[in-house]
Amino acid sequence: MSGTGSTATRADPPAEPAYAHGTGTTALLGDTIGRNLDRAIAAHPERDALVDVPSGRRWTYAGFGRDVDRLARGLAAHGVHKGDRVGIWAVNCPEWVLVQYATARLGAIMVNINPAYRLHELEFVLNQSGIEVLVASTEYRSSDYRAMAAEVRGACPGLREVVHIGDPEWDELVSGGGGLPADYLAVQEASLSCDEPINIQYTSGTTGFPKGATLSHHNILNNGYFVGDTVGYSEQDRVCLPVPFYHCFGMVMGNLGITSHAACIVIPAPAFDPAATLRAVQQERCTSLYGVPTMFIAELGLPDFASYDLGSLRTGIMAGSPCPAEVMKRVMAEMHMAEVSICYGMTETSPVSTQTRRDDDLEHRTETVGRVLPHIEVKVVDPSSGITVPRGTPGELCTRGYSVMLGYWDEPRRTAEAVDAGRWMHTGDLAVMRDDGYVAVVGRIKDMIIRGGENVYPREIEEFLYAHPKISDVQVVGVPDERYGEEILACVIPRDPADPPTLAEVAEFCAGRLAHYKVPRHLRVLAAFPMTVSGKVRKIELREEFSARP
C-alpha cells in the first residue's frame, strides 16, 4: 500500500531508560589485597605509608610491609588460618590498619565491629560470625573494652582468645610467629583467590540485629582503587582519615584506596575531632580529606577555623549521607578542596557505585552523587514492579557488578531479599537518573513522606532550608497527621542558639519558592541530631520522638 496521503504518524521514540554502565580504559585488578600491597612496597619502599598523628609513629611502605608480615605470622602461630574469622573492635589506630592487611595476607576473614557496640551487640556479632580471635582496644571515653570483652566471653563459646592493643598479649601476638618457616606467608598467599571472602561488615539496621555483609578481596580492593583513581591519587598524595575504619568509608575508600596508589594514610585522632583533623591536615600537608557532611560542618564551624593552613588540600571525599549543596560549596571555597568528590554507595556494594568527577562543574558536584564508576551498572526501577523507569523519573536505585557483596554471612534468605536473581543489589534509596547519566538521590523509600496523596522527598526540602540564614543543619521527617496522613516536620540546628528560627520565619522563607504541600508545618530546634558512630543521622529516632508531639 502506498503511503501517499496516509494520515499515520510515526510514534515518538521511547524514552531513554534510567540505566547506565561504567566504562573505562583501566581494567579491574585481579590481585589479592596482599599482592597489591606488595606492588606498592616494591615501587615505593621509602615513601610514607602510614602516619599516626596522636602517637607520632610513622611507617614507610617497606616498614609497614614488615610489620604487616610480623602480625600475619603471629596470627598464624596463634592458630588463625584461611577462612577463620578475626574480629577487630577498636577505635582508629595503626594497629587497626595492620590487622586489616595481616588478615588479608592469611586469607582470614576480618570482622569489623563498631566501637560503639555494647554487650548485647558485641555478643551477637561474635556468635553470628563465629569469631575465634578478637583484637580490641583497651578503653576509650566511656567504653571499657577490656571489661566488656571479659563479660561476654562466657556467652561466646567459639571465642578462644582476646588480645587488647597495647597490652602485653599484643606484643606476644606480634612476635609470636618467629618459629614458622621463612616462606610461610608466601605459601599461604599462593593459595588465595581474589574472589574469596576477606571481610564482614555489619550494616547498621534500624530494627533488629544488623546483617553481616560479606566482601571479597575483589570487591573491596577494586572499589577502593577506582575511588582513588577517580580523584587522581598517586604516591604524592597524603590522605587525612577522620572517618571510622570499621566502616567501608575508612577501610575501603580510605585505606585500600590509598595503598593501591602508594599514597599515605594519615590518622588524625582515635575518633572524630574537628580541631585534631585540621591540625593533622596542616602538620602533614595532606592533599585530601574525608568526612561525612556533619564532620565538614563541625570543621567549618570551629571558632578558629581561619587560623589553620589548609592550602595543601586539593581534593577529598564527602559521603556517608546526603551532602548539602551549601556545605559542599563552602568546603570547595574555604578549605581549598576544589576537586572534592561526592561518593554514593552502601556497605553491600563495597561501597561506592557512583562518584562525581574532578572536572565536573559546580552544579554536578553539588546537585548529584555523580555517575556510575567503571565496571559497575546502575538502574532506577519502579519499587512495586521492578521495571526500569525512564530517566528523570524517581524510583529505587539498583547496582550490579564486581562490587556487589557475596551475601549476608550465614543468612541466605536475607541475601535473597536484597540481591535479586539478576544479581542486582536493591539499595532502598529513591533516586532520579538525569538525561546525562548523573544520579540524584532524593531519599530513602522508607523516609518518603506521603502527604495528602503527594509524594514528598525530605532531601529536597533539606537542601532548600540549608540556605536559610539562621539554620546550620536540618533534617526533615514525616509525622502522623489526622487530616493528611503525614505532615512535614523540620528539625533544625540553629547557627546561633540564642537566635533560633521560628516556624513563621521558616514558612515565610519557603513561601512562593516551594510547593505549598512541601512547606514544613512543624519545627523543632535541637542542639544536635541522634547519630550513628559513622556520622549518619538516625531519622527513625527523630520520627519516633516527635510523632506523638510534633
Q: Which residues are registered as beta bridge partners of 139?
A: 144
Three-class DSSP category at 493: strand
- Answer whether residue 347 is part of any domain: no
> Residue 2 has what pLDDT?
40
Q: Which residues are registered as beta bridge partners of 429?
A: 444
The domain in which residue 171 lies consists of: 31-47+60-193
- Answer whether residue 222 is part of any domain: no
- Answer whether residue 460 is part of any domain: yes
Question: The pTM is what?
Answer: 0.85
Cα-to-chain-centroid distance, residue 487:
31
pLDDT tens digit string along 253-304? 999 999 999 999 999 999 999 999 999 999 999 999 999 888 998 999 999 9
- Answer whether residue 477 is part of any domain: yes
Q: For the domain that residue 102 is a member of, what is the CATH number?
A: 3.40.50.980
pLDDT tens digit string along 297-334? 899 999 999 999 999 999 999 987 667 778 888 999 99
- Of 157, 175, 193, the last residue of a domain is 193
pLDDT at 491 over 80: yes
Give the integer Cα–Cα distance in Å for 161 and 109.
Answer: 16
User: What mean pLDDT comes out for the span 3-10?
Assistant: 47
Instruction: Report percent pLDDT > 70 for the chain.
Output: 96
Provide the number of structural domains found in the chain: 2
C-alpha cell at 225: 582503587
- For residues 403 and 374, the answer to whether their CB atoms sit within 8 Å is no
- Answer whether residue 365 is part of any domain: no
φ, ψ of residue 500 to 5 degrees: the values are: -75, 160
Instruction: Report percent pLDDT > 90 for the chain.
Output: 80
Three-class DSSP category at 244: coil
> Residue 343 has what pLDDT?
95
Closest CA to 430 of 456, 395, 390: 395
- Answer whether residue 367 is part of any domain: no
C-alpha cell at 235: 604516591
- For residues 240 and 270, the answer to whether their CB atoms sit within 8 Å is no
- Answer whether residue 525 is part of any domain: yes
